Amino acid sequence: MVACIGLASGIGAGNPGCAKGPLELQKRLDLDWRGLILSKEHHQEKMEAIASLNHSLAELSYSLTLEEPFFLSIVGDHSCGVGTWSGSAAAIREQGDLGLIWIDAHLDAHTSQTSDSGNIHGMPIAALLGYGDKRLTTIGDPFPKVRPKNLAMIGIRSFEPAELRFLNQLNVRIYMMDEIERRGLAVVLHEAIEIVSKNTAGYGVSFDLDSLDPAAAPAVGTPVDKGLNPEELLDALHLFESHPPLAFELAEYNPLLDRNDKSFYIIEQLLQSLARPLCKTIFR
């Protein structure tokens, strides 16, 4: 059985409905939950509230990284990625660095200085690299969580120039949608797995549902056309067999925006297909 943790928060998104994503999956899928943090009414500033929730998620993720060969983190908006991967990075720090594959329509590489919307789900990549608000960059331990050379981003097609400039300066490998169309998702994922596992003690995969084409998976707050083809993704998951990730994170699923459970069924299939190459069962 694959262990599962989560954080049901949508505070970091413009549309907070993705807080319902983990709850919906908890209700409808028979997963092995080891902890699900709920965002309650908060009277703090957003950044303060998000940092505190991510501290709790990082504690769960820290323990599971040490205890389990592989686990799932099912979160609301993508600002929760800071908690998941800060916990994992701290847990393996003695053995080495953490690698990360970030599958997303967006770069999520803003800081409070560059973001027009101020939405914190647009900032987790900057925070994990050690840039931006101290309350986000010091979760788990005081060090940057991921080095730029150990990060690969897949499915990108919507971003602000400041984000791209920032990541290009750091030499982060970004697989934009046009490159994926040209070379195929399997080739790109294979290359990404090599990048993130080469100089690391382990790597994670963070999957934003909005990386998929919104015609196939409409249940996201910030849809962008011309995304990944879900079938091509399912076909490519066997690539994890040779270098299995430490954990897989699912973010930004907003069940209130789904149509005929399209996105729900894709998620169910994705989790099932993901477990197979890792020789695990995902549902009880």
Backbone angles phi, psi at 183, to 5 degrees: -100, -15
Q: How many helices (H) and strands (E) does the chain have?
A: 10, 8
213 catalytic residue (yes or no): no
Choice from 39, 59, 68, 78 touching Mn ion (CB under 5 A): 78
Query: Binding of Mn ion at residue 133 (CB under 5 A)?
Result: no
Query: How far is Cα 124 from Cα 166, in angstroms, rounded to an integer?
Result: 14
Query: How far is Cα 174 from Cα 164, in angstroms, rounded to an integer?
Result: 9
> Residue 276: which residues within 8 A CB-CB, separation 6 or more?
237, 238
104 catalytic residue (yes or no): yes
Question: CA triplet 145, 130, 252: central angle to 5 degrees?
Answer: 70
Query: Binding of Mn ion at residue 110 (CB under 5 A)?
Result: no
Question: CA triplet 204, 33, 11: central angle to 5 degrees?
Answer: 70
Query: How far is Cα 215 from Cα 195, in angstroms, rounded to an integer?
Result: 30
> Residue 48: which residues within 8 A CB-CB, separation 6 or more?
135
C-beta closer to Mn ion: residue 108 or 163: 108
Catalytic residue, chosen from 24, 121, 133, 258, is 121
C-beta closer to Mn ion: residue 208 or 213: 208
Catalytic residue, chosen from 59, 163, 213, 252, is 252
Query: How far is Cα 280 from Cα 141, in angstroms, rounded to an integer?
Result: 30
Smallest gap from residue 252 Cβ to Mn ion (A): 6
208 catalytic residue (yes or no): yes
Q: Which of residues 85-104 bind Mn ion (CB under 5 A)?
A: 104
97: Cα separation from own chain's centroid: 18
Query: Binding of Mn ion at residue 108 (CB under 5 A)?
Result: yes
Taking residues 193 to 222 in sequence order and writing x for each that binds Mn ion by CB under 5 A, - otherwise, the string is ---------------x--------------
Taking residues 1 to 20 in sequence order and writing x for each that binds Mn ion by CB under 5 A, - otherwise, the string is --------------------
Query: How far is Cα 164 from Cα 270, in angstroms, rounded to an integer?
Result: 29
Coil, strand or helix: which one is 137?
helix
78 catalytic residue (yes or no): yes
Catalytic residue, chosen from 55, 59, 68, 106, is 106
Backbone angles phi, psi at 255, to 5 degrees: -60, -25
Smallest gap from residue 284 Cβ to Mn ion (A): 29
Catalytic residue, chosen from 24, 59, 208, 258, is 208
106 catalytic residue (yes or no): yes
Coil, strand or helix: which one is 144?
coil
Catalytic residue, chosen from 59, 77, 104, 133, is 104
C-beta closer to Mn ion: residue 119 or 150: 119
Quick one: which segment of 4-12, 15-23, 74-82, 174-182 binds Mn ion (CB under 5 A)? 74-82
108 catalytic residue (yes or no): yes
Residues labelled as active-site residues = 78, 104, 106, 108, 121, 208, 210, 252
By the criterion CB under 5 A, which residues form the site for Mn ion?
Answer: 78, 104, 108, 208
